[in-house]
Chain A
Amino acid sequence: DIQMTQSPASLSASVGDRVTVTCRASQLLSSYLHWYQQKPGRAPKLLIYAASSLQTGVPSRFSGGQSGTDFTLTISGLQPEDFATYFCQQTYKTPFTFGQGTKLEI
């Protein structure tokens, strides 16, 4: 199985800050890497697909990047509604696997 190592596990930040979450894959994924946001008691929401493409309706302060097997999710100018948990996911090969999540706290 492809292992997804996500860091950090938790992150404290303030409104207006710029934060970056990283996922490292155990093998090359091409661009089969996606980012989701999840709030307590809710389903995950797709933010970024194919490593760097912004899902329709998602604010442009969210962006994704890739360098080899390392992928990043950056939020520029944190808003109060951005405090949530973020997951990466690879869909390059089944079984699809997720990172362990990053909890973004105020």
Chain B
Amino acid sequence: QVTLKESGPALVQPTETVTLTCTFSGFSLSTPGMRVNWVRQPPGKALEWLGRIDWDDEKRYSASLRTRLSISKDTYSDQVVLIFSNVDPSDTAAYFCARSSGVGASRDAFDIWGQGTMVTVSS
């Protein structure tokens, strides 16, 4: 069974750096084509893709957030880490990680999602 679970602080101060961890099981991020994506959703709003990391450590980021985001992986511990710097109240959102595959018929659809973790940015 494939699962992903996000963890991190629920409340952070403006200008701080936030570290979110996605711990997954049931698949390997060493498998060719495998990817883990980060998506966020402000309360009552639409989904926004933040970035992804691939099995070969290639990374892609949202252009608007590129300077504040960093995604890394620890293949041995089956974790992906999102570091988000200089946060602002507008970054308040539920943050999700989701699996996709860049090979095969799925066309990179996000087939399994974590439950999400709510991050509130407030002083």
A46 cross-chain contacts in B, Cβ below 8 A: 109-111
Could you say which of B48, B62, B113 contacts A44, with CB atoms under 8 Å apart?
A: B113
Q: Chain A CB within 10 Å — which of B61, B63, B105, B110 has the most? A: B110
Q: What does DSSP make chain B's interface, helix, strand, loop or mixed?
A: loop
Interface size for chain B: under 10, 10 to 19, 20 to 34, or 35 or more residues? 20 to 34
* Interface contacts beyond A34-B107, A44-B47, A95-B49: sample of 4 additional A-B pairs, CB < 8 Å, sorted by A: A30-B107, A43-B113, A44-B96, A55-B111
Separation of A94 and B110 alpha carbons in the complex (Å): 14
Nearest B residue to A98 via CB reads: B47
Residues in A lying within 8 Å of B, measured CB to CB: 1, 30-34, 36, 42-46, 49-50, 53, 55, 87, 89, 91, 94-101
Bound form: Cα–Cα A33–B108 in Å: 9
Residue B60 interfacial (CB < 8 Å): yes
Q: Nearest Cβ in chain A — how far from B57, in angstroms?
A: 16
Bound form: Cα–Cα A89–B41 in Å: 14
7 A-B pairs whose Cβ atoms sit less than 8 Å apart in the complex: A31-B107, A34-B107, A43-B96, A43-B113, A43-B116, A95-B49, A100-B46
> Within 8 Å of chain A (Cβ to Cβ): is B92?
no
Q: Is B85 an interface residue (CB 8 A)?
A: no
B10-37 toward A: CB 8 Å interface, digit per residue (1/0)?
0000000000000000000000000001
- Complex contacts, B37 vs chain A, CB 8 Å: 96
**A42 CA to B115 CA in the complex, in Å?**
7
Residues of A within 8 A of B96 (CB): 43-44
Q: Which of A32, A45, A99 contacts B107 (CB 8 A)?
A: A32
